[in-house]
Amino acid sequence: MPAPPATSAAAELLQRSRRRISRNRRRRYIPEGPLVLRRLFAYGAIVLTRRQKEVLDFVTRHIDRHGVAPTLHEIGRHLKLKSVATVHKHLRRLEDKGAVRRLTHQSRALAVVPSPKTAAGARIPLLGTVAAGTPIEPIEVPGTIAVPEELLGRGETFALRVRGDSMIDDGIHDGDVVIVESRREAPNGATVVALVEGEATVKRFYRRRGRIHLVPANERMKPIVAREEDVELRGVVIALLRRYR
């Protein structure tokens, strides 16, 4: 006589496994989705990606030292890019943004455009400093900062300068400027700016069992756990600006 099917036992085992994963997720504060922060770099008023900034810096240094621009192969070799087409793509993006000028059909016909002094795009409020560490009293000194229009949120958008290194594993460093979309609610795992009993901080946000957990991206620091009524959400971080020179 054949053995009875093990469907129910397998289903029960799968259910137990899912419950265990769910418990571990809550304990370790594993985000429900990947953190997406556009890391950008200011070149005067132009905003560049990390790789565009590396290409521009190499071209600038090469011209300063040798009096001529590097070839596409030299750029690719320095940045460990295997494809000349990839170098072409980065230079085309830099040209579109007005950071370099190129002449076609010439090997070293590449010039760096001086950093512009005026910004194209929108100006948003720069409301002082927010802590990436121990919460600090909110510092909201009215000012403005120019940002590309594509970095604006769907509603009210403002900027804050970061102090501290509690979010360093998420790529948010001391002195960076975070772009924040003003919101009163946020999903679990979002990076938020919040007031905890009147003091400002930037952290990962989680709501669990009637408590708010504000979790740093730095294993040396502990989460802040507070009652919902003691936390005021100011907004969700949607972009990051960093100036190198």
Phi first, then psi, for residue 60 (nearest 5°) are -60, -45
Give the active site residue among 53, 83, 203, 222: 203
Find the helix or strand (DSSP H, E) in which 52 lies: helix 50-66
Strand partners, 90: none
Give the active site residue among 89, 97, 166, 182: 166
Structure tokens belonging to residue 26? 């809550």
203 is catalytic: yes
Q: Report in angstroms the alpha-carbon separations of 164 from 8, 43, 92, 133.
A: 53, 24, 36, 5
56 three-state secondary structure: helix
State whether the Cα torsion 124-127-133-134 is positive or negative: negative
Contact 159, 125 (CB under 8 A): yes
> Measured between alpha carbons, how far apart are the two ends of the chain, in Å?
80
Contact 214, 204 (CB under 8 A): yes
115 is catalytic: no
Q: Which of 201, 205, 43 is nearest to 135 (CA)?
A: 201
Structure tokens belonging to residue 37? 């922060």
Distance (Å, rounded) from C-alpha 209 to C-alpha 196? 18
Q: Which residues are catalytic?
A: 166, 203
